[in-house]
Chain A
Amino acid sequence: MPESWNLLHDLGTGLRDRANILAVACIDVPTWRSWTTWVTSVGFRGGAELLFNGVKKHHVTLPSQSEPWDMKQLLVWIQRNLLKERPELFVQGDSVRPGILVLINDADWELMGELDYQLQDQDNVVFISTLHGG
Chain B
Amino acid sequence: MSCEVLACLQWLCSHPVPVSFRLCFKDFFIHKFKAVLGKNRIIFPGEKVLLAVSGGPSSCSMLRQVQEGLSQKANKKLRFVPGVAFIDEGAAIGQSVEERQRTVAELQAVFQATGFPFYILPLEQVLDLPASVVATNPSPSEQPASAYKAAVHHFVETDGSNFPRPQEPKKTLLPRVQESHTLMLQQLLGSVKTLTAREELLNTLRQHLLVHTARTEGYSKLMLGDSCTRLAVKLLTSISLGRGAQLAQDTGFSDSRYGDIILVRPMRDYSAKEVAYYNHLFTVPYVVIPSVDTKTVDKASIQRLTESFVTKLQTDFPSTVSTIYRLTSEKLQTACRKRSGADGCDRCLLCLCSLDTAVGE
Smallest distance from the beta carbon of B75 to chain A beta carbons, Å? 26
Say yes or no: B295 contacts A50, CB within 8 Å: yes
The answer for the CA separation of A133 and B289 in the assembled complex, in Å, is 8
Contacts of A50 in B (CB 8 A): 288, 290, 294-295
Any B CB within 8 A of the CB of A60: no
Task: Give per-residue flags for B42-53: 1 if the beta carbon is below 8 A from chain A beta carbons, else 0.
Answer: 000000000000
**Cβ distance A126 to chain B, nearest Cβ, rounded Å:** 7
Complex CA–CA separation, A105 to B16 (angstroms): 7
> CA A46 – CA B286 in complex, angstroms?
8
Shortest Cβ distance from residue A106 to the other chain B in the assembled complex, whole angstroms: 4
For B297, the closest partner residue in chain A by CB is: A88
A108 touches B227 (CB 8 A): no
**What separation, in Å, do the CA atoms of A82 and B55 have in the docked complex?**
26
Say yes or no: A134-B58 contact (C-beta < 8 A), given A106-B17, A126-B280. yes
Interchain CB contact under 8 A, A133 and B56? yes
In the bound complex, residues from chain A placing their C-beta under 8 Å from that of B277 are 101, 103, 108
B315 touches A128 (CB 8 A): no
Q: Count how many chain B residues have C-beta atoms less than 8 Å from C-beta atoms of the other chain.
A: 36
Contact of B288 with A130 in the complex, beta carbons under 8 Å: no
Q: Known contacts A106-B281, A134-B58; is A49 also within 8 Å of B288 by CB?
A: yes
Q: Is the CB of B276 within 8 A of A130?
A: yes
CA distance A133 to B285 in the complex (A): 13
Given the contacts A47-B294, A105-B16, A106-B281, A99 and B311 also touching, CB distance less than 8 Å: yes
Instruction: Tell which of A47, A103, A111, A134 touches B225, judged by Cβ atoms closer than 8 Å.
Output: A134
Is B59 part of the binding interface, using a Cβ–Cβ cutoff of 8 Å? yes
A80 within 8 A of B: no
Interface size on A, residues (CB 8 A): 23
Say if the beta carbon of B226 comes within 8 Å of chain A. Answer: yes
User: Measured between C-beta atoms, what is the minimum distance from A41 to chain B in Å?
Assistant: 14
Among A45, A105, A111, A134, the one with the most B-chain Cβ atoms within 10 Å of its Cβ is: A134
Contacting residue for A107 out of B17, B59, B226, CB 8 A? B17
In angstroms, how far is the closest chain B Cβ from the Cβ of A91?
14
CB neighbours (8 Å) of B227 from chain A are 134
Is B289's CB under 8 angstroms from A130's CB?
A: no
**Interchain CA distance A111-B275 in the complex, whole Å:** 18
**Chain B nearest CB: distance from A132 CB in Å?**
6
Set of chain A residues within 8 Å of B273, measured between Cβ atoms: 101, 130
| With known contacts A89-B295, A106-B17, A134–B288 Cβ distance under 8 A | no
The listed residue with most A CB atoms (<10 A of its CB), out of B230, B277, B288, is B288
Contact mask for chain B residues 261-287; partner A; CB cutoff 8 A; 1 contact, 0 none: 000000000001101110011000010
Contact sample, A vs B, 8 pairs, CB 8 Å cutoff: A89-B295, A107-B13, A107-B14, A130-B276, A131-B272, A132-B291, A134-B54, A134-B230
Taking Cβ atoms with an 8 Å cutoff, the residues of A that contact B are 45-47, 49-50, 86, 89, 98-99, 101, 103, 105-108, 111, 126, 128, 130-134
